[in-house]
């Protein structure tokens, strides 16, 4: 918090939040000395924000009773964060947020300074975020319902239609939401299957909050669970490859989506499932590190075909 402007705004937030704070408390919170604190108090007063000073053993600072703060004050960094957040909303697949995005931006600009307003306009008109496009329409109602249920540790009853068009009614302890590959998912404990499961929100026909509550595992990571669930989906061929590299490099080059990575000494084991050995061979062929195909033998044949093709192209005149 080295920026003096940030410290002044933090001081204002502290005075707004607490009815009364001593000079020592404020100085410790802001990591400054008492002389600098008095200078920041003066800066607030120069902005028209009345701060009363109470001397004595129990003295301190407080905002003048009845004073109403402006509805919103943003630093340059906060305005940047909000503007980028509004840009990111475009790719989340929630149609209902499109008009809300514009009205939110309009409200923010009404309380921004001229400088911050210019910065917000510049980002809106010139910046584009290359996020995954939404592949399925999102439902704002379901998104809010599951977010609320996750926070409140409240069970949900849902009607679900899977990829085989089979309809089931489930009771779920929702542990978290994930936006992945252009779709929204909710992960948690499914009482029907008595196991952890992930559900696509666009396949949920109806959902209802229940009175029953639950305890969420402290170490549960919904994104990691979803990744492992998708990587372990049954496909035509199971693949095992030993990668002669470290875990970080393997994930960076191949991406999380290809399968499950397990450290094995100084190397990494990759376990995956694929419907196309030719596609998997192409992913391996472009890697900068060596590897050893353990299974299936057909993957070695597919890799040989890739090598033959590349050799033919290299010799073409």
Does residue 94 lie within any of the structural domains?
Answer: yes
Q: Which of 210, 225, 240 is the last residue of a domain?
A: 225
Examine residue 171 and state whether it is found in any structural domain, yes or no. Answer: yes
The pLDDT of residue 255 is 84
Is there a single domain that holds both residue 53 and residue 87?
no
Verify that 198 and 157 share a domain, yes or no.
yes
pLDDT per residue as tens digits for the range 27-80: 888 888 888 988 888 888 887 788 888 876 667 888 887 666 655 567 777 777
**Owning domain of residue 249:** 232-315
299 and 242 in one domain?
A: yes
In a domain, 133, yes or no: no
Nearest Cα neighbor of 131 from 105, 92, 101 is 92
Contact 88, 41 (CB under 8 A): no
Based on the fold, state whether residues 150 and 211 are members of the same structural domain.
yes
Whether residue 84 sits in one domain with residue 147: no
pLDDT at 143: 87
List, as one string, the DSSP characters of 32-99: --HHHHHHHHHHHHHTT--EEEE-STT-EEEEPTTPPPPS----HHHHHHHHHHHHHHTTS-BTTHHH
- The candidate with the shortest Cα–Cα distance to 9, out of 35, 43, 57, 33, is 43
Regarding whether 203 and 146 lie in a shared domain, the answer is yes
Give the domain CATH number at 218. Answer: 2.30.30
Per-residue pLDDT at 275:
87
CATH number at residue 256: 3.30.70
Quick one: 57 and 24 in the same domain? yes
Both 99 and 156 in one domain: the answer is no
pTM, two decimal places: 0.57
Inside any domain, residue 162? yes
The answer to whether 100 and 140 have CB atoms below 8 angstroms apart is no
Q: Is residue 135 part of a domain?
A: no
Per-residue model confidence (pLDDT) at position 134: 58
Domain boundary among 194, 209, 225: 225
**Number of domains within the chain:** 4
**CA terminus-to-terminus distance, the chain:** 62
Same domain, 212 and 192: yes
Closest CA to 203 of 157, 108, 139: 139
Instruction: Name residues whose C-beta falls within 8 Å of residue 112's C-beta, 6 or more positions apart in sequence.
Output: 74, 79, 120
Task: Tell whether 91 is covered by a domain.
Answer: yes
Q: Which pLDDT does position 1 carry in this prediction?
A: 46
Parts of the chain with a pLDDT under 70: 1-3, 56-58, 66-73, 90-102, 107, 110-111, 129-138
The pLDDT of residue 263 is: 93
- Domain assignment present for 70: no
């Amino acid at each position: 918090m080295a920026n003096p402007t940030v410290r002044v705004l933090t001081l204002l937030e502290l005075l707004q939040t607490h009815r009364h704070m001593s000079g020592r408390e404020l100085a410790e919170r802001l990591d400054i000395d008492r002389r600098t604190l008095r200078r920041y108090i003066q800066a607030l007063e120069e902005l028209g924000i009345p701060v009363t000073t109470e001397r004595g053993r129990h003295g301190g600072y407080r905002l003048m009773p009845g004073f109403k703060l402006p509805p919103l004050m943003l630093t340059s960094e906060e305005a940047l964060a909000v503007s980028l957040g509004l840009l990111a909303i475009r790719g989340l697949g929630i149609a209902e947020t499109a008009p809300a995005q514009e009205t939110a931006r309009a409200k923010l600009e009404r309380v921004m300074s001229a400088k911050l307003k210019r910065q917000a306009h510049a980002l809106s008109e010139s910046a584009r975020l290359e996020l995954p496009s939404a592949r399925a329409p999102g439902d704002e109602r379901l998104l809010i319902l599951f977010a609320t249920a996750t926070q409140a540790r409240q069970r949900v009853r849902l009607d679900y239609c899977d990829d085989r068009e089979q309809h089931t009614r489930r009771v779920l302890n929702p542990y978290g939401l994930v936006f992945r590959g252009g779709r929204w998912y909710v992960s948690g404990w499914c009482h029907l299957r008595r196991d952890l499961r992930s559900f696509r929100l666009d396949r949920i026909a109806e959902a209802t909050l229940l009175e029953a509550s639950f305890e969420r595992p402290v170490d549960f990571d919904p994104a990691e669970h979803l990744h492992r669930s998708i990587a372990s989906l049954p496909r035509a061929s199971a693949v095992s490859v030993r990668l002669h590299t470290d875990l970080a490099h393997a994930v960076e080059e191949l991406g999380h989506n290809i399968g499950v990575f397990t450290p094995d000494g100084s190397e990494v084991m990759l376990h995956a499932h694929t419907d196309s050995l030719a596609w998997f061979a192409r992913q391996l062929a472009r890697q900068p590190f060596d590897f050893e195909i353990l299974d299936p033998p057909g993957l070695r044949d597919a890799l040989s075909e890739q090598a033959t093709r590349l050799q033919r192209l290299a010799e073409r005149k």
